[in-house]
Amino acid sequence: MIETLLVANRGEIACRVLRTCRDLGVATVAVHSDPDAHALHVRRADAAVRLPGAAPADTYLRGDLVVAAALAAGADAVHPGYGFLSENAGFARRVEEAGLTWVGPPPEAIEAMASKTRAKRLMGAEPLDPDALTAADLPVLIKAAAGGGGRGMRVVRDLGALRGELAAARAEALSAFGDGEVFAEPYLARGRHVEVQVLADAHGTVWPLGTRDCSLQRRHQKVVEEAPAPGLPPALVDELYGTAVRAARAIGYRGAGTVEFLVAEDGTAHFLEMNTRLQVEHPVTEAVYGVDLVALQLRVAEGAALPPEPPAPRGHAVEARLYAEDPARGFAPQTGTLHALEVPGVRLDTGYAAGDGIGVHYDALLAKAVAHAPTRAEAVRLLARALERARVHGPVTNRDLLVRSLRHPEFTEPGRADTGFYERHLAALTAPPPGGRHAAIAAALAEAAARPGPGAWRNLPSQPRSRTYGEEHGGTPVDHEVRYVRTRDGHLLPDDPDVRVVSAGAREVRLDVAGVVRPYRVTAHPGTDTVHVDTPAGAYRLTRRPRFTDPVERTAPGSLLAPMPGTVVRLAEGLAVGARVEAGDTLLWLEAMKMEHHVTAPASGVLTALHAEPGRQVPVGALLAVVAPESPEGPPVQSAQEEQA
C-alpha cells in the first residue's frame, strides 16, 4: 500500500493527483521551483521540497533532485503526472532503484514507445525519412521523434522550404527534449485526431476505455477534447480498440496510457504514437466511464488486479483548455496576476487560485473545464454556457475563442471538425465581440457610483462628466469615451440615446438597450487599470484610460520589440548588424511558457541594431533589434533616435 506519494510535477496535474490522494487517505509531497514556491500545488500538499532554480532543466527535469526529495520527505511512491519526466525511462528506473514505487508503466515499456519512429515500426508503420523527401511526398508534417506538445513540429508544403524547416525542427527538438531526431509523416489537413485510453494491470488485463476526439488544436496542441469521439463507425472503433490493446500487450504495458491515431476523410486510421502516461484530457474519459484514473493508477501500482471488463460508458463529456494567451495575436502567452477564476456548473481542474501570479517559465494552461451530460449536444451547450458566464479576471485568455468554437456549426455537427479547424476559422473566431460600448458605459457608471465626488445630482443638467475605457483585440485598441449626466431622475447618456440606465451601483449596473434589460457586473481590482465587466452574455476586459495622457517616448521606425516576456532561444542563421532582411522574415525565436514564438522583421531593410542574444531573458516591449526601412530615394537611413543611441 502506498502511504506517502511525491508528485513530480506542478500546476494543474499536480493538484489533480493531490485531490485523489486526499480522497484515498494518501499523504502527499510536492516539489517546486523557486517561481512556484507559493503555488497552489505546494499549498495543497502535506509537505514540499524546493528544487533550486527557475528553468525546468534545473528543477522539474532533474530526476536526481526529485528522487532525493522523495527520500528526504519519507515518500514511498512517485507519480510523474504528464510532461516533464513522465515519459523518461531513466527517471522511472532511478525511482525504482531507490526503492520507491513508480506510478507508471515499466521503464522498458516507456523506452519501447519513447521514440515515435521506433513506435511506428513496432506497430508496422514505417516513418518517412525527412532527408529523402520529394515533391511527390508533400505536404508532410515534420515531428520530433522524442517529444510532443507541438514542439519540433513543422508543416512543409513546398520542397524549397524543407531544408530550413528541418533545421528549425531539429534545433527546437534538441532544445526541448535533448534529442534532435525528427521524422516525417503525410500531412492530412482534414484529418481527425482520435485516441483510445487504455488501462492495464500486471495480471494480463487491458481495458480499452473508449475513444476521444482531440481534433481542435492550435499549434499542434489540443484545445477542445471530447469522449466518445463522435460519428465513428462501429467497425472503425473496434479496429482502434484492437490496435490500442495490441500496442499495450506488445510492450508489457501497465497503468494508464493513450494510443493516438489520425483518421483520414475516407475513414482510414493511421497510428501516430502511444503516450505512456496520463493525458491532459483524461477527465472526459473519467466522466463518461465514472472512474478515477489516478486512483486506478495508484491501485495498479500497488499490484491490484482490474476487473475483467471495464465499466459501461454513460453519456458524453467535453473538455476545454483555458489558456492565458491571446488568440488574436498568434496565441501569444500572457502573464500577470489572476484575480478571479470561477466557472460554475462544470468540473474545473486548475493549478491556480485567485491572487496567484502567472509567470513565463511554464505552460500557459490555466484550467480545464469539463462538462458531462446525457448527450453530446447537451454537454456542448452546458460547457459553452458555463465558460460564457465564467469570471476570469487577470491576463487575457482564450475564453471567448472557446465559447465561439463550441458553438461553431462545424463543431456542433458531430464528427465534422478536424485538425484544420482553427486554420480555417481563426479570424472569425477572434473578431472583436459586440457589446463593448455598453460594457464601457457600465464601467463608467459603476466607477461614478464608487467615487461620486462633489455635486451628486443637479436640478438642471450640467456639463456631462466623461470617462474613457479601452478594449484591445489583436493588438488594436478601441477607446470608448462615455459621457454621462446625473440628474434627479437618473443618469442621462447624451451620446447613447438608445440606452436607458435602469440602476447604477458600484458593483452592478443594469442597462435597458432597445427594451431589453441586462445586468453588468463590474469589478475593478486594486492596483490595476483593468476593469472586468461580466454579463450573462459574455465578459469584457477594459482598460481605464487616464484623463490626461502624458507624452511618451516614440519608438524608432523599424524597431522590433519583444511581444511577450521570454527567453531568446536562437537567432536566424547569419543574422548580424548590416544584414539585409525582408519584411516577415523570422529573425529570432523567443521561448515563453514552453513554446517557441517566431519574431519577424517589421519591415524590409537593413539590420542596424541587434540587442538579442541566445539565453537572454527579456520583458515584454524590450527592444530586440532595429531594421532601418528602405526609402524610395536610396539605401536605408538611420533614424535620429538610433544615431543618439
The catalytic residue positions are 277
Q: Which residue has the cell 499549434?
A: 219
Residue/partner pairs of 412-417 with CB below 8 Å, 24 or more apart: 412/377, 412/380, 414/230, 414/231, 414/376, 415/192, 415/213, 415/229, 415/230, 415/231, 415/232, 416/231, 417/192, 417/213, 417/215, 417/216
Q: Exposure of 315 by Cβ count < 10 A (0-12 exposed, 13-18 middle, 19+ buried)?
A: middle
Q: How many helices (H) and strands (E) does the chain have?
A: 16, 38
Half-sphere exposure of 393 (CA within 13 A, CB side): 21
Provide φ and ψ at 402, rounded to 5°: -65, -45
Dihedral sign, CA of 15, 17, 23, 25? negative
Cell numbers for 126: 514505417
* 3-state SS assignment for residue 119: helix
Polymer length of the chain: 645
Closest CA to 624 of 534, 563, 572, 574: 563
Who contacts 452 (Cβ-Cβ below 8 Å, separation ≥6)? Answer: none
Tell me how far apart the alpha carbons of residues 31 and 36 are, in angstroms, rounded to a whole number. Answer: 9
Q: Exposure of 59 by Cβ count < 10 A (0-12 exposed, 13-18 middle, 19+ buried)?
A: buried
The DSSP 8-state label assigned to residue 634 in this structure reads B
Q: Which residue has the cell 482564450?
A: 398
Q: Which residue has the cell 511558457?
A: 593
Distance of CA 333 to the CA centre of its chain: 8
Tell me how far apart the alpha carbons of residues 566 and 594 are, in angstroms, rounded to a whole number. Answer: 10
